[in-house]
Structure 1
Amino acid sequence: MFVKNLSALLLSLLAIGCSANEAEIQKAIEAKLGVKVESVTKAGYFGLYEVYADGHIFYTDDKVSAMLIGGDMIRAQQAVNLIDLKNNRNITDERLRKLTAIKFSDLPLERAIKQVRGDGKRVLATFEDPNCGYCKRLAKDLAKLENVTVYTFLYPILSEDSLKKSRQIWCSADRLKAWNDWIIDGKTPGGRDNCDTTAITRNQEFGRKLNITGTPTIVFADGERVPGALPLNALEQKLNQQK
């Protein structure tokens, strides 16, 4: 749990009174929160510093005398958002997308189910649990895309049945057909589940390393990561931006 007792944490931080640079802020927060801070940068607003740690962004002042932490961060959600009202920009969201970006060339595509439509020039990857309802909704929209290559990483995180289905799909002679039969048409995968499924285990390890906590998670060619099922028009817009 990222923050066990927010009130106690804030009170303890008030004891730190000297001004600090980025390195000192990082050291102080790591000591108080017990997590690795990946970056500390000036937020550009109200003299605040942006702190990125454990997949979340929060804010503190140069004396580390107080912090802005969303209550919902306990449930792994980003609740505090810094908004630039003049330019109508969600600064926190923009920064979080940049900080959580995944270099597409780093994806182990050999462990994904590949499907190509048309010329396949537009590219995206997804992390999906076979029992995820939003994944089923996404699959129906992905099926409508043209000239695209989709890499689907089986990422069973919801239940033991998710793992069993993932293994059965991976062990199928035609993995793409087995995946689409289930995720789009609802045809339960059959057959064995005892082939070499280390790819699925490694996908789970890889996803945890990237702090992928929900499905579907979409990764576009530019590295942008989007949690959740985007509607068809949003998928088209994002893919067309990458031509």
Structure 2
Amino acid sequence: MLKHKIFQKLTSLLTFGALVLSASALAQTAIDVKSKSFTDSLGQKLQLRIDAVADSPVPGLVQLYTDRGLFYASDDGKHFLQARVYNVENSIVDVTENALKDMRVSGMEKFADSAIVFKAKNEKHVINVFTDATCGYCRKLHNEMDQLNDLGITVRYLAFPRAGVGSSVYKDAVSIWCAKDPQDAITRAKAGETVASAHCENQVAEQYNFGKQIGVNGTPNIVFPDGSVIPGYQPAKMLADALAQAAG
């Protein structure tokens, strides 16, 4: 009888631990950590769309994955924080940045088929770059595409029209992504040429909105395979060195 009770207790603890790890690590959109009424009420008050909730490493706080980034709230919903959380127990670890890295990596997978890809022949690394064809430093980076590819770096472009959805820059981005040859279209656009108007089903708005979710506020914004970010232009050789260092 005693063994049976101990077994039941261990089973309950293991089950609970698995649920917590699953919610925290995956931030599942089912929103099981808190009731839907909690997220609906908080989202309405803050004018945010809360996509997922997960346990925070700080007792009493939960992580909110929203359409405008990663935030925190007290578990009673009375307090809201825009903050960075650091674990200083053994060394200084940016917990918020690690959560954002996971968010970036998992989110990029949604756009695997809608990115404009310049693939390296002997691929060593893949970077995702939020870009705007009118951005001067985006053009500078694009001018080094042959160097990047020769260094084994595949570039996957995601649209980030800085003026927002519905702007002329956004419409140009749609035309680029809907062109018969998007690679040629984006190359011409970044050379200052006019791209012929085109329409199709596209994910330009979704890519832009995802960029805002993960903290993109300028271009180029370069996302490494581990989810870390370089917010601006870097020469091809420096990028290659940084990627090799990040890969260990």
Greater helix proportion: 2
Give the Å deviation of 1:171.
Answer: 5.0
Structure 1: unaligned runs, 5 residues or longer: 1-20, 70-79
Counterpart residue number, 1:116: 119
Considering only aligned residues, what root-mean-square deviation do their CA atoms show, in Å? 3.8
Counterpart residue number, 2:29: none
Task: Tell me the number of residue pairs that the alignment of Structure 1 and Structure 2 aligns.
Answer: 203
Counterpart residue number, 1:144: 147
TM superposition score normalised by structure 2: 0.61
Counterpart residue number, 2:78: 65
Check the 8 A contact 1:104/1:219 in 2, yes or no: no
Would you say 1:160 and 2:160 are equivalent positions? no
Give the Å deviation of 1:82.
Answer: 1.4
- Paired residue type of 2:85: L
Would you say 1:85 and 2:105 are equivalent positions? no
Check the 8 A contact 2:105/2:225 in 1, yes or no: no
Give the Å deviation of 1:130.
Answer: 0.9
Counterpart residue number, 1:229: 232
**Does the C-alpha gap of structure 1 residues 167 and 37 become closer, same or farther in structure 2, counting only changes over 3 Å?**
closer
**1:127-162 deviations in Å (ceiling 9; x for gaps):** 311112342344356553311222324554435257
Counterpart residue number, 1:206: 206
Give the Å deviation of 1:121.
Answer: 4.2
Of the candidates 50, 61, 67, which is equivalent to residue 54 of structure 1? Answer: 67
Q: Give the percent of matched residue pairs that are identical in Structure 1 and Structure 2.
A: 19
Counterpart residue number, 1:193: 196
Counterpart residue number, 2:130: 127
Give the Å deviation of 1:60.
Answer: 2.8
**Does the C-alpha gap of structure 1 residues 108 and 44 become closer, same or farther in structure 2, counting only changes over 3 Å?**
closer
